[in-house]
């Protein structure tokens, strides 16, 4: 597991408290503090050497492009395949209003060319819980991945988006996400997103009092992703907020996703 994915006990305690709220309140409001994933970014004191133009007056966006992080796959016995691996890369941007960080966009590239599906799943499972589920989703729709997806380039994911609560420009993140995604998609196969409201930890128990409020927020966010980025719900997984679209020009080349519940067999 990557060092960046180690979660302090204080964060776990906060999550457990929010889990209790899911069953006792009809709605959870967005916290005023920065979400966990962005708090980690702040704590690491990264450099953001690049800037984006085209934002409204008074705003600017700074961003960084991380290097590829290699994730070793299980040993493959056939000669010539010993060095295959999965790799990840993060692009992270802050939106500034003066010196204040008011929004953030995080994108993730996943690449696994020529890696067998079972090796890909084990690499994702060893890395983090969110990538384990993401891998299960795309493996159930596009097997074999190394032919159907990664043969045309890495998969790009809109991983996280945050805007300061009650900010007068709640859509200030959109031009930043557009600019970064457009650049990276030139060499990617598909664009994906797992859409959910962060304040609910991404899910609620079935029958919980918060379930209707969660569904409304997720559905509204999915409509934004469809309108802004052309994303469509994935077969079977759309009800859980998973969306996708192919790179322009690959609409008839990348296979249309079809749900296969027993992809591992």
Q: How buried is residue 207: exposed, middle or buried, by Cβ count under 10 Å (0-12/13-18/19+)?
A: exposed
Confirm whether 221 is domain-assigned: yes
Least confident of 28-42, 71-85, 98-112: 71-85
Confirm whether 256 is domain-assigned: no
Confirm whether 197 is domain-assigned: yes
Cα distance between residue 220 and residue 259, in whole Å: 24
- For residue 129, the model assigns a pLDDT of 86
Residue 225 banded pLDDT, cuts 50, 70, 90:
very high
Least confident of 53-62, 71-80, 114-123: 71-80
Residue 1 banded pLDDT, cuts 50, 70, 90:
very low
The tens digit of pLDDT for each residue in 40-70 reads 898 888 999 999 988 999 999 999 999 999 9
pLDDT at 12 over 50: no
Confirm whether 102 is domain-assigned: yes
- For residue 9, the model assigns a pLDDT of 55
- For residue 213, the model assigns a pLDDT of 82
- For the chain, what is the mean pLDDT? 85
Confirm whether 99 is domain-assigned: yes
Confirm whether 258 is domain-assigned: no
pLDDT at 17 over 70: no
pTM: 0.85
Confirm whether 131 is domain-assigned: yes
- For residue 78, the model assigns a pLDDT of 59
Query: Is 222 in a helix, a strand, or coil?
Result: helix
Number of domains in the chain: 1
pLDDT at 231 over 90: yes
Mean of pLDDT values over 170-178: 96
Cα distance between residue 41 and residue 160, in whole Å: 12
User: How many CB atoms neighbour CB 31 within 10 A?
Assistant: 12
Sign of the four-CA dihedral 195, 181, 188, 72: negative
- For residue 2, the model assigns a pLDDT of 46
Residue 261 banded pLDDT, cuts 50, 70, 90:
confident
Q: 188: closest CA among 98, 81, 128, 111?
A: 111
User: What range does the domain containing 59 cover?
Assistant: 3-246
- For residue 42, the model assigns a pLDDT of 87
Write the DSSP symbol of residue 143. Answer: S
Write the DSSP symbol of residue 5. Answer: G
Whether residue 91 contacts residue 25, with contact meaning beta carbons closer than 8 Å, is answered with no
Least confident of 52-56, 112-116, 135-139, 241-245: 112-116
Residue 114 banded pLDDT, cuts 50, 70, 90:
confident
């Amino acid at each position: 597991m990557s060092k960046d994915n180690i979660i302090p006990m204080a964060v776990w305690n906060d999550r457990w408290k929010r889990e209790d709220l899911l069953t006792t309140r009809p709605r959870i409001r967005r916290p005023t503090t920065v979400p966990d994933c962005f708090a980690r970014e702040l704590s690491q004191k990264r450099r953001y050497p690049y800037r984006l133009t085209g934002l409204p007056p008074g705003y600017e966006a700074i961003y960084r492009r991380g290097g590829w992080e290699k994730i070793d796959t299980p040993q493959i016995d056939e000669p010539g395949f010993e060095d295959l691996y999965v790799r990840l890369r993060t692009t992270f941007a802050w939106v500034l209003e003066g010196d204040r960080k008011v929004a953030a966009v995080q994108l993730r590239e996943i690449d696994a060319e020529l890696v067998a599906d079972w090796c890909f799943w084990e690499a994702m499972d060893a890395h983090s819980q969110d990538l384990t589920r993401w891998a299960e989703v795309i493996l159930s729709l596009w097997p074999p991945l190394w032919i159907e997806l990664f043969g045309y380039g890495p998969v790009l994911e809109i991983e996280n988006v945050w805007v300061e609560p009650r900010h007068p420009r709640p859509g200030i993140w959109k031009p930043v996400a557009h600019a970064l995604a457009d650049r990276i998609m030139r060499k990617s196969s598909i664009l994906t997103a797992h859409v959910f409201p962060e304040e609910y930890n991404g899910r609620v128990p079935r029958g919980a009092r918060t379930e209707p409020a969660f569904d409304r927020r997720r559905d509204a966010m999915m409509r934004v992703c469809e309108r802004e980025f052309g994303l469509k719900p994935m077969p079977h997984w759309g009800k859980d907020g998973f969306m996708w679209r192919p790179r322009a020009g690959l609409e008839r080349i990348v296979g249309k996703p079809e749900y296969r519940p027993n992809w591992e067999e």
